[in-house]
Chains A and B, each alone.
Chain A
């Protein structure tokens, strides 16, 4: 390493000098859409401009190019891949995909539709869900055709498989009440990867297609404003390139695929206050809400902006799920064995962000974990209740009620599965703080621009904004609050990203 013949590499001095040499990439000031009349010349042009290089943007670019368009893909960060590249890369697919069939898994479009439309947010986008489910099998084939690797192996874990298996129950399908809505099936399709790196594998395949198809790719080009004509048609985008303003003409259409806004603290506080206290924004640094804000400034409507996920990762180990989760009144409020996104949602949106896990000797969290702090310990449940300051007798009564029924493998309140049902018995009893502000709780935003089935963006008056499309977390799609399954976000991004790319390519040249 210190040999003189070693080619000069990055040294400490160079590392530190970088600070002075590179201007900070400050956020562009929010600004209204730019009137076309103010643009005297265009610096670049393409038939279709795609802003953002995550799963939605890459899928849009691939399909727009295959539809014959000349495509320019821009990315605000130095690297392509977006937040999708640091996700687990799960795609929620079903209704009898090739992988499900190969593994003997029975599933139907109807069951998948019932689950997605019934287990999540009230009044979900039914048309999108219907189309997504009907074409899910074909969409999975498309992912395979792009070179995304999957292995014919079913995982039994409740979390993203770590050993390269490609199919698992990625959501709350088996938990109550979802299992009564629809026949459960494993629908989480995971690229072959180890250690939560499926997103990197997914994006490597998609971006390789983007490059091979001849899409022009430019990193460190950040969108700032849409350029809008007199008739309201979106004609182009003003961008920032190394601190300089440039304009890009999009002859047929623009696809905004710039992610959500979890890294924009001000937007999170204003739009999604329930997520503001979560210490872990789970996204690449590019999720600054720029696509959403550019769209809003051009007249677009934004939907469900308060929704997102707050993951409270109780498991693994699954033995923990024999404990109970209670609120500030010492009461249970959720099936502990549900998907950790549903648990997090219940805490974030329905318990003011506060909850505790109560365990006995057999359900303690592992000794070496930094997710949740143990805040009380005692030989009796009463000891815990006193230390936590719960209302007099509440926790004791609720534990007694729970224990009485758990002894018969019953949970009249939340129907936790029998595998996790047994009375809490045997000291030491512990209480673990699950409060969002004090725990390892990754969060992501789901609100975004109002789009139709082809990614067309609607104005706040419900009219299509010509030339403008959005996909992924820049749009309001399938994922909502509660987030009911891993893979709905990347699944939605790839599926509707493709449709937006095709639609933008077919858009009449203005």
Chain B
């Protein structure tokens, strides 16, 4: 049973360059569908058993996700459990790329240590990205009134 590539993924494939360099530039890939961060809170909830989003929480079974967008994949200091493909990765996490990857991480990166079936539903995945964009840049200084 092969999963059909969604349109956005096909677009990403076409826009990919043969070398790593250009891929480090942000903004080269189309944005994922606009999601709802409020709904994304619960879509992201299962990820929280392994990933923390606040910097001071450090790494869990998965790497910390504070300010994850814009970081080169698989290179965070203090996290010694990246799989080989991610250790060798030469791309930067963008919302679009994480959106695409989370459809089926184990298929996208055979060998990844993240034993998750991902979030196959596109709308839910967009909600997750919208939430993570918000929460991954949140700091204690933002803890104003509700």
Contact = CB atoms under 8 A, between A and B. Distances in A.
| Size class of the contact patch on chain A | 35 or more
A485 to B, nearest CB: 19
B54 A368 contact: yes
Nearest to B83: A79
Nearest to A377: B146
B61 A10 contact: no
B65 interface: no
Interface stretch (A19-27, A207-215, A449-457, A466-474): A19-27
B113 interface: yes
B80 to A, nearest CB: 11
A189 interface: no
A200 B1 CA distance: 32
Interface string B10-27: 001100111111011000
Interface stretch (A104-112, A130-138, A274-282, A319-327): A274-282
Interface stretch (A1-9, A120-128, A498-506): A1-9
Contacts of A16: 9, 12-13, 16, 100, 108
Given A10-B91, A17-B13, A19-B104, A281 B46 contact: yes
Contact of A370 (B41, B81, B86, B112): B41
Contacts of A23: 1-2
A78 B110 contact: yes
Interface stretch (A170-178, A190-198, A343-351, A378-386): A190-198
Main SS class of interface, B: loop
Given A24-B2, A24-B3, A440 B13 contact: no
A477 interface: no
B117 interface: yes
Contact of A2 (B75, B90, B115): B90
Nearest to B92: A12
A252 interface: no
Contacts of B18: 13
A145 interface: no
B49 A280 contact: yes
Interface in B73-102: 73-75, 81, 85-91, 97, 100-101
Nearest to B20: A11
Contacts of A253: none
B107 to A, nearest CB: 4
Given A19-B103, A22-B107, A442 B88 contact: no
A15 B91 contact: yes
Contacts of B109: 10, 15, 18
A167 B3 CA distance: 46
A24 B85 CA distance: 19
Contacts of B87: 9
B35 interface: no
A10 B86 contact: yes
B110 A18 contact: yes
A15 B107 CA distance: 9
B91 A12 contact: yes
A85 B100 CA distance: 26
A200 B23 contact: no
A94 interface: no
B121 interface: no
A491 interface: no
Contacts of B146: 367, 374, 377
B1 A18 contact: no
A442 B108 contact: no
A17 B24 CA distance: 18
B141 to A, nearest CB: 10
Given A24-B1, A367-B143, A280 B110 contact: no
B138 A18 contact: no
Given A10-B85, A197-B61, A280 B107 contact: no
21 contacts: A1-B90, A2-B20, A8-B88, A8-B90, A9-B85, A10-B74, A10-B86, A10-B89, A12-B91, A13-B17, A18-B109, A20-B2, A23-B2, A25-B107, A200-B81, A280-B46, A366-B143, A368-B54, A368-B140, A368-B143, A377-B146
Closest 7 CB pairs of A and B: A9-B88, A367-B143, A13-B16, A18-B108, A22-B107, A12-B91, A10-B89
Interface of B: 1-3, 5, 9, 12-13, 16-21, 23-24, 41-42, 45-46, 48-50, 52, 54, 57-61, 72-75, 81, 85-91, 97, 100-101, 103-104, 106-113, 115-117, 135, 138, 140, 142-144, 146
Interface of A: 1-2, 6-13, 15-26, 77-79, 85-86, 194-197, 199-200, 263, 279-282, 284-286, 366-368, 370, 374, 377, 438, 440, 442
